[in-house]
Structure 1
Amino acid sequence: MVAYGAEQRVRLLALRAGWLTQTFVHWPFRPDAIQALLPGGLVVDDYEGAAWVGLTPFVMADVRPPGVPASLPGLPTFAETNLRTYVRHRDGRDGLWFLSIEVAFPPMVAARAIGAPYNPGTLRVSTDGDTVSYSGSRWIGDASYRLVVRPGDPIEPTERDVWLTSRWRAYTRRLGMLWETPVEHEPWPLATADVDVLEETLTAAAGLREAPLGEPLVHFSEGVRHVRLGPSRPCGPERVSQPS
């Protein structure tokens, strides 16, 4: 069972931020199709027999390194979009694996130093009446997306909703090692959402060529404002592993 609230306090801080105006679009896939995209040492985490891939566009706000007080301005607000899936480390701990990360703030690409797959691009997030629109295109390559949603009523999250949205560490790969980045924030306030437009080539660009097993599951969130990211640390050598 995945915890709805943060599993650990992030005491050694690497970054503070707010993740706002976020939409979660999740597709179910065959676990074998997702396992083929993972490094050794990680196995796909499935829910009732299906692996899930999430497209999650949002706004990064009030981004500040440790030591920068709230009274001073942080980094400029910018858009980011993650394509992610859900995994377990060989020690059993669950987390995220990013298939790609699109970002409109080029300095964030420095996170490639610990294997985070950042791609600089042109990204936009806008609100018009009762719709929220997201779009993005990479500066290198032709991967892109366009998403328009109509947020609905707040919901009490189901077990599956929590499983899809509440993860408290991300894994990356660099120089033959797996790295872990811890995260802490308040629980996501979730709402329903209807999709008006959904066009994307990010999944194909990540190497996922087969069709999903069903229609996407979509949630909207106004966001979380008190995100704490810890420093990334190595969590063991990468090694070849087979799906369990």
Structure 2
Amino acid sequence: MYKNILESIQHRVSPLPRGPWVMTQKWEHLLFMHLPVPKEVLAQHIPKELEVDTFEGQAWITIIPFMVSDMRLRNLPSIPYLKSYLELNVRTYVRCNGLSGIYFFSLDADKILAILGARLATLPYYYANMTMNEGREDDFHYKSVRKGSTEASFKGSYRPISTYYYPGNDSLSFWLLERYHLWTIKKGVLFRGDIHHKQWKVHDAKAAVEGFYTLIPFLPDSISKEKLLFHYASSQRVLIWRIKKVE
């Protein structure tokens, strides 16, 4: 299985990372909720070492609720307590040293050990009460409320509304989905992580969402949710490399 994933590289615009991957996860029932945002707004909220990436001059933020399953370290069985948990990501698109990737504003999860481990790896994880249930008509109902003195929350339902497809290389969908590098910053030090998976096979999606603006409170009220773009993906097996300091 892993060899087959590693040999599937035709969709990448950068080479596979050096060295062995250290962890694998399966991501399931993902909603990609894309929101166009002015580049100037985002530039104020990312590290100075990064540059806002745009598609035809437009910057984007994406919110992704999904389930993680079968998380395991390389050559080891699944971790029982962490075999399955829910996650909610808020990311934007950046460039650094000629590479395109992502920068996370936040990641919420419902397993405290997963959060503690990810924080040690410099990722901005938060603990949240989360539920995901499958409805009767192939729809998914998702709710997340971050714990602590915050209003950060998300509530929504979503379902695929088209047959699956592979976005074309020059399309906005490909630009939004096919991202294999991430950057984080901790105590003024920039770190980079790398992942790999097969090309995204997605559906157009329909979604009804509430509260997501609380996850990105710096956005001005003028940003319209009428321009949201949705994708749904049923699953993806992902290989993950160790996060390293950028020299």
TM-score when scaled to structure 2? 0.86
Classify 1:36/1:187 alpha carbon distance in 2 versus 1 (closer, same or farther; 3 Å): same
For 1:52, which of 53, 57, 60 is the aligned residue? 60
Aligned length: 230
CA–CA distance in structure 2, aligned partners of residues 148 and 81 of structure 1:
14
Q: How far apart, CA to CA, are the structure 1 residues paired with 2:121 and 2:189?
A: 9
Separation in 2, partners of 1:122, 1:4: 36
Equivalence for 2:244: 233
Note if contact 2:153-2:215 (Cα within 8 Å) is conserved in structure 1.
no
- What residue identity is the alignment partner of 1:59? M
2:85 partner letter? F
Aligned twin of 1:122: 129
Call closer, same or farther: CA 1:178–1:146 in 2, change over 3 Å. same
What residue ranges of structure 2 are gaps of 5+ in the alignment? 1-9
Which residues in structure 2 correspond to 1:60-79 (within 5 Å)? Answer: 60-69=68-77, 75-79=82-86
Pick the structure with more strand per residue.
Answer: 1
Go from structure 1 to structure 2 and tell me whether the alpha carbon gap of 1:188 and 1:145 turns closer, same or farther (over 3 Å shift).
Answer: same
Residue pairs, 1:64-143, within 5 angstroms: 64-69=72-77, 75-89=82-96, 91-110=97-116, 111-130=118-137, 131-140=139-148, 141-143=150-152
Distance 1:67 1:208, change over 3 A: same
The residue that corresponds to 1:220 in the other structure is 232
Take 1:55 and 1:223, find their aligned partners in 2: how far apart are those partners?
17
SS of 1:201 mapped into structure 2:
helix
CA shift at 1:175, angstroms?
2.1
1:4 paired residue number:
11
Contact 1:5–1:186 under 8 Å retained in 2: no
Aligned residue for 2:156?
147
| Runs of 4+ with >6 A deviation | none
Percentage of pairs with the same residue: 24
Query: Which residue number corresponds to residue 219 of structure 2?
Result: 208
1:168 counterpart residue number: 180
CA positional deviation for 1:86: 0.2
What's 2:6 paired with?
none
Task: String of CA shifts for 1:100-159, please: whole Å, max 9, x gaps.
Answer: 101111112222234311001111111102211111001112210111112122234141
Q: Which runs of 5+ in 1 are unaligned?
A: 237-244
Asked if structure 1 preserves the Cα contact closer than 8 Å seen for 2:143 and 2:154, the reply is yes
Counterpart code for 2:177: T
Tell me by how many angstroms 1:197 deviates. 3.5
SS class of match (2:66): strand
Distance 1:228 1:6, change over 3 A: farther
Give the structure-1-normalised TM-score.
0.87
Q: How much has 1:185 moved relative to structure 2?
A: 0.9
Does 1:184 pair with 2:196?
yes
Q: Is 1:15 matched up with 2:26? A: no
Q: Which amino acid is the alignment partner of residue 233 of structure 1?
A: K
Alpha-carbon separation, structure 2, partners of 1:150 and 1:58 = 12
